Amino acid sequence: MDALALEAKAGKADAAPAPALATKRPKPQKKAKRIVYFEVEIVDAKTKEKLLLLDKVEPTASILDIKSMFHKSNPQWYPARQSLCLDPKAKSLKDEDVIQNLPVGTTATFYFKDLGAQIAWGTVFLLECVGPLLIYLMFFFRLPFIYSPRYDFTTPKHWVVHLACACHTFHYAKRILETMFVHRFSTGTMPLRNIFKNCSYYWFFAAWMAYYINHPLYTPPMYGEQQVKTALMIFLFCQLGNFSIHIALRNLKQPGSKVKKIPYPSKNPFTWIFWVVSCPNYTYECGSWVGFTVMTQCLPVAFFTIVGFIQMAVWARGKHRGYLKEFRDYPTLRSSILPFIL
């Protein structure tokens, strides 16, 4: 019986179906995301005339991409010359703005404004600096058509005149080299029509200062050598400080990047002024011209220093407000251009 029972059990075991092998089910393929394209309409801000209709614009397209597309159909308006905004009276959109992040529907209307012929900021800076450099030297060497012939046999130039020429030349030569090798401009161009206003300002003041400092009847400073040497130390100190700040600001940005960062003091002592001032490059620039004013004791130089300070104070206050608006953790102790004052 036992043998029969064993055979029966074995038969049942053989007859039992083998367990199915576990097989992995293929994962369902993810459905590709549907891209929602935009239809972009470009309208003249003044006449409300439709200038271009762009179909199937990708949502990741930037304003610069749209400007480039517009330029292809209208070659006379290159991207730097264009201003696109969401309303005729609104501010221009930034080139890096992305269309899908703007408050528009799938059909977007941009209003176009012609900014006029543009010129690169690097070229602007070079023209602003080369002019005063050459103009001042023309007066220093007393070209025949500048001063009256009756001064041809007057006393030779005072040593302060030579020193002033060296400082003036050093200042503008430094600015030219910084323009070429240090500065990184956040905006690429400016309207060409403004170049005449900018250059007239710098060139006129350079001629006015140079005429009196290099005049054969120029009188040296009242307190003599002590006044000149003190002023020279102020001038050189501020020139070095200005250069240090420009290097610090350059290192703050990567080439081609438009991401803004808060500037902070570094190991360089000239940058420690960042603790109390937002735009120390303007602070040092004004200090340089104060030193030059004291060195030459010349009224046109003093007037140029005052006008320059007012203009730089306006620029500094604008940048300071921009920092406060963009960065919530911006240091509250800082002033715009003068520590604890302005």
Give per-residue pLDDT as tens, 163-181.
999 999 999 999 999 999 9
Residues 64 and 93 reside in one and the same domain: yes
Percent above pLDDT 70 for the chain: 87
Query: Which CATH number covers residue 80?
Result: 3.10.20.90
Domain assignment present for residue 24? The answer is no
Q: Which residues pair with 83 in a beta bridge?
A: 113
Cα(310)–Cα(180) distance, integer angstroms: 27
Residues 150 and 280 reside in one and the same domain: yes
Residues 52 and 173 reside in one and the same domain: no
Q: How far is CA 179 from the centre of its chain?
A: 12
DSSP code string of 51-67:
EEEEEEE-TT-BHHHHH
Residues 99 and 248 reside in one and the same domain: no
DSSP 8-state symbol, 31: P
Structural contact between residues 261 and 218, judged by C-beta atoms closer than 8 angstroms: no
Last residue of a domain, one of 88, 115, 142: 115
Domain assignment present for residue 133? The answer is yes
DSSP 8-state symbol, 80: G
- Phi/psi region, residue 181 (left: phi>0; alpha: psi -120 to 50; beta: rest), is alpha
Last residue of a domain, one of 115, 150, 165: 115
**Residue range 195-231, pLDDT digits in tens:** 998 899 999 999 999 999 999 889 999 999 999 999 9
Q: What is the mean pLDDT of the chain?
A: 87
Confidence at residue 56, expressed as pLDDT on a 0 to 100 scale: 85
Q: Which residues pair with 107 in a beta bridge?
A: 39
Residues 59 and 208 reside in one and the same domain: no
Domain assignment present for residue 191? The answer is yes
Where in the sequence is the domain holding 218, given as residue range(s)? 119-326
Residues 291 and 182 reside in one and the same domain: yes
Cα(203)–Cα(135) distance, integer angstroms: 7
154 versus 307: which is more confidently predicted? 307
Domain assignment present for residue 242? The answer is yes
Residues 66 and 126 reside in one and the same domain: no
Residues 153 and 42 reside in one and the same domain: no
pLDDT at 3 over 50: no
CB atoms under 10 Å from CB of 275, counted, come to: 13
Two tokens, residue 85: 């905004």
Closest to 147 (Cα-Cα) out of 208, 213, 216 = 216
Closest to 116 (Cα-Cα) out of 152, 89, 76 = 76
pLDDT at 20 over 70: no
pLDDT at 87 over 70: yes
Confidence at residue 149, expressed as pLDDT on a 0 to 100 scale: 76
Confidence at residue 8, expressed as pLDDT on a 0 to 100 scale: 45
Q: Which residues pair with 340 in a beta bridge?
A: none
Confidence at residue 153, expressed as pLDDT on a 0 to 100 scale: 56
Who's near 121: CB < 8 A, 6+ residues apart?
Answer: 185, 187, 188, 189, 190
Q: How far is CA 281 from the centre of its chain?
A: 13
Cα(7)–Cα(12) distance, integer angstroms: 9
Domains identified in the chain, total number: 2
CB atoms under 10 Å from CB of 314, counted, come to: 13
Last residue of a domain, one of 115, 140, 159: 115
Domain assignment present for residue 1? The answer is no
Confidence at residue 143, expressed as pLDDT on a 0 to 100 scale: 83
**Residue range 239-297, pLDDT digits in tens:** 999 999 999 999 988 776 677 889 999 999 999 999 999 999 999 999 999 999 999 99
Who's near 215: CB < 8 A, 6+ residues apart?
Answer: 147
Q: Mean pLDDT across the stretch 60-86?
A: 91
Residues 77 and 150 reside in one and the same domain: no
Domain assignment present for residue 2? The answer is no
Residues 49 and 138 reside in one and the same domain: no
Domain assignment present for residue 156? The answer is yes
